[in-house]
Every structure is written in C-alpha cells, then in structure tokens.
C-alpha cells in the first residue's frame, strides 16, 4: 500500500475527487478514506457518488500532520521508541559532526535506555542545548602531525 503519512501536496485543490480517486492518489484502501470522512473530512454533499473537494482534502491532511507533530523544547531529544520528546539521561549528550555546519546530538533515553538522535546545526546548538552537557569528540591525530614515526615504518 501507500505511505503512512499521505502528502497533502499531491491533491489538486480545484478538483473534486471520489473516494476511490482519493484512495488511488495516496495508495490507500478506500475504507481508509471513508475512515477519514468519519474522522472529519467533509464531503461536498450527501449525494452519491460521494465527492470530496481537493482543498478540503489538503486542509484535512495538513491539520492531521500539525496535530500529531511533537516539537522538542531546548534540552530535549525525540525518542523514537517512546514516541515523545525527552530530556536525555543525566542531561548528557554527545555531538557527532556530519559536516562542518551541522551534526547529530546522540543521547540515551532515561525511560527505555534506547539511543536518541537530534539533527542540529552548529549555529543553533546554543538554542537547542538547554541544560544538556554536550561533549565534543576529539579529532584523531593524523600520522603527519605526530613527531614519532609509526613502528612499522621503513623511514629512519
């Protein structure tokens, strides 16, 4: 079947859709679309075939997406297993750089002990930090930076 969260931008807002057309558009079963109607998606009228206006579908799906969104406050990281933003265990996190501008905060969930991740830019790290103690891993030294050559070297 289709994706779990239908994309509201697939809908043409100036068009009317039947239940079957909406189901095909999102790769869902028509009973899923009928469930959306019971949950508050307004049909254009009570006549058959049931028609749904495109802008109503887009607004309904967008409202569901906003309602289910949980944003993290400063000092919180989202735990996928608990499905909620949480303060990390012992207020400790590690910053793992991905590029020069952004990286991941990695911490442990205090409730389920699973790994939590949060993508953050270096510029906004101060805003995201909250009370977290963030450790930055030290870069590994390169061979050319060391004064002593390696043991398995032929150089004298």
What's the confidence (pLDDT) of residue 64?
86
Q: What is the pLDDT of residue 38?
A: 93
pLDDT tens-digit map of 8-53:
888 998 999 999 999 999 999 999 999 999 999 999 888 888 899 9
CA separation for the pair 68, 71 (Å, rounded): 10
| pLDDT attached to residue 154 | 61
CA within 13 Å, CB half, 31: 1
- Burial profile 93-119: b = 16 or more Cβ within 10 angstroms, e = fewer: bbbeeeeeeebbbbbbbeeeeeebebe
Give residue-wise pLDDT tens across range 102-149. 888 888 888 888 888 888 888 888 877 887 888 787 765 555 555 665
Any residues with CB less than 8 A from the CB of 43 and at least 6 apart, and which? 37, 50, 51, 52
Per-residue pLDDT band for 75 (boundaries 50, 70, 90) equals confident
From CA 96, how far away is CA 131, in angstroms rounded?
18
Q: Give the tokens for residue 31.
A: 């009973």
- At residue 54 the predicted structure's pLDDT band, cuts being 50, 70 and 90, is very high
Domains of the chain: 8-68 (1.10.1660.10), 77-135 (no CATH)
CA dihedral 34, 38, 39, 44 (to 10 degrees): 80
pTM of the full predicted structure?
0.54
- In this prediction, residues 1-5 reach a mean pLDDT of 66
pLDDT above 70 (res 1): no
Q: Is the pLDDT of residue 85 over 80?
A: yes
């Amino acid at each position: 079947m289709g994706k779990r969260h239908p994309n509201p931008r697939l809908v043409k807002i100036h068009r009317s859709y039947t239940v079957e057309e909406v189901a095909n558009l999102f790769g869902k079963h028509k009973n899923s679309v009928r469930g959306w109607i019971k949950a508050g998606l307004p049909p254009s009228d009570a006549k058959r075939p049931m028609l749904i206006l495109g802008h109503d579908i887009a607004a309904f799906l967008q409202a569901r997406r906003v309602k289910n969104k949980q944003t993290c406050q400063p000092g919180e990281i989202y735990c996928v297993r608990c499905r909620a933003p949480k303060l990390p265990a012992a207020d400790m996190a590690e910053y793992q750089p991905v590029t020069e501008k952004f990286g991941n905060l990695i911490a442990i969930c205090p409730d389920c002990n699973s790994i939590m991740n949060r993508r953050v830019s270096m510029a906004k790290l101060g805003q995201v930090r909250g009370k977290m103690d963030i450790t930055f891993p030290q870069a590994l030294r390169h061979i050319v930076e060391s004064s002593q050559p390696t043991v398995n070297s032929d150089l004298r």
